Amino acid sequence: MISMKPKLFESLMQRDLEFRQLMEDLKHKATVHPFLKRYCEVGLKERLFSDMTGALGHMHDTLVEAANPEMIGRDIITVRPTSETMERFPLDEKAIAYRYAEGAYTRLSGKKISTVDVYTNIIAEASEEWTREFLEDATWNVMDNMTEKVGRALGESETNKILALYAAIANADLAGGAPIDNAGAAVNWSGLLKLHNAVRGENWRPTVLAINEIQLHQLLSDDKFIHAQYLPAEQVDLERGVIGSVLGMKVMASTLVPNGIAYAIDTRVAAVMLLRRDITVEDWEDPKTGEFGVRATTRFGLGILRSKAVAKMTNISTSL
């Protein structure tokens, strides 16, 4: 699986011509745009940066670092960079695929079509708007905090779109031909075995277990789960909900995964995220209302390529 974290400012300035041009455009706008102007002026006044480029670079890095913990979606799908508006993927003879189309996910049957076209026309975005009067008095800490808020919201927006892709898979198209009903009980070791077996029964190998934080804590109450693998510190990232792996599946927990649902996914083959443009900082303004702000976006495409590589468990207890 390819997992792509958003790149920081220095790395992009060295390698990405399009990003460098974007920064040049923002530098020009920062002389007139109320938020960008105030952000750079205060940063320079407090000697946090030596020039405007350094201030805008910090803004980009702040967005990236705030968004990254929320972007667990990139850990439950294969991410591939692209410069194309569309890429065509071949399907197995009996594969059932899904693609994003006009605000919804459309089912494609492999028996009727041998390829699926994935278009990079999905935009995840987040923004904050403020009045000119507010910005005139905004301190550095306030503006930096607002920038972090935009980054977190962007990470959540992107992850929600990826989770919606998996949620759109029809029950009959899932591994095992139906979701696994947990009968209202807490998820436990036996439930993990059922999820794992459903994907293996389709001749795929699940690489990720995606669950809600409540289900993670249910598992942490099960001795069999805890003893399955003692977790060395380097495999644990509690901020991002990563606690290592079990049965060959990397455990990813997030409150964005619906409480009461769990997925076992072979991310090598199940779906693809084509990343056309990673986190981008943009200015935003509405002169009519006198509001100004900053917007962060990513542009990408999503498609399910082999739905049988996804197992789903439902009707899990939503409390500890």
Residue 200 included in any domain: yes
Which tokens is 232 given?
Answer: 């060395």
Average pLDDT over residues 196-221: 96
Contacts of 89 (CB under 8 A, 6+ apart): 97, 115, 116, 117, 118, 272, 303, 305
Q: What pLDDT shows up at residue 242?
A: 55
Higher per-residue pLDDT: 187 or 287 = 187
What was the pLDDT predicted at 115?
Answer: 86
Q: Which residues pair with 211 in a beta bridge?
A: 253, 262
Number of domains in the chain: 1
Largest CA distance in the chain: 64
| Predicted TM-score of the model (pTM) | 0.90
Predicted confidence at residue 1, as pLDDT, reads: 47
On whether residue 123 sits in a domain, the answer given is: no
Q: Are 316 and 261 in contact (CB under 8 A)?
A: yes
In a domain, 230, yes or no: yes
Residue 111 scores a pLDDT above 80? no
pLDDT at 211: 97
Task: Write out the residue range of the structural domain in which residue 179 sits.
Answer: 170-270+309-314
Q: Is 294 helix (H, G, I), strand (E, B) or coil?
A: strand
pLDDT(318) > 60: yes
Q: How confident is the model at residue 110 (pLDDT cuts 50, 70, 90)?
A: low
Rounded Cα distance, 152 and 219, in Å:
27
Is 4's pLDDT higher than 80?
no
- Rounded to whole angstroms, how far apart are CA atoms 11 and 140? 25
Band the pLDDT of 194: cuts 50, 70, 90.
very high
What is the reported pLDDT for 85?
Answer: 95
Q: Which has more pLDDT, 41 or 115?
A: 41
73 in a domain, yes or no?
no
The answer to whether position 288 is within a domain reads no
Q: With bands split at pLDDT 50, 70 and 90, how would you rate the model's confidence at 187?
A: very high
- Residue, of 253 and 111, whose pLDDT is higher: 253
Domain of residue 236, CATH code: 3.30.2320.10
pLDDT tens digits, residue range 209-252?
Answer: 999 999 999 998 888 777 665 444 445 554 554 567 788 899 99
In a domain, residue 86? The reply is no
Q: Distance between CA 54 and CA 32 in Å, rounded?
A: 18
Residue 216 lies in a domain: yes
Give the chain's end-to-end CA distance (angstroms, integer): 32
Is residue 143, in this structure, part of any structural domain at all?
no
Are residues 25 and 53 in contact, defined by beta-carbon separation less than 8 angstroms? no
Q: Could you give the percent of the chain with pLDDT greater than 70?
A: 92
For the chain, what is the mean pLDDT?
A: 90
The whole-number average pLDDT for the span 172-190 is 97
| pLDDT confidence of residue 60 | 96
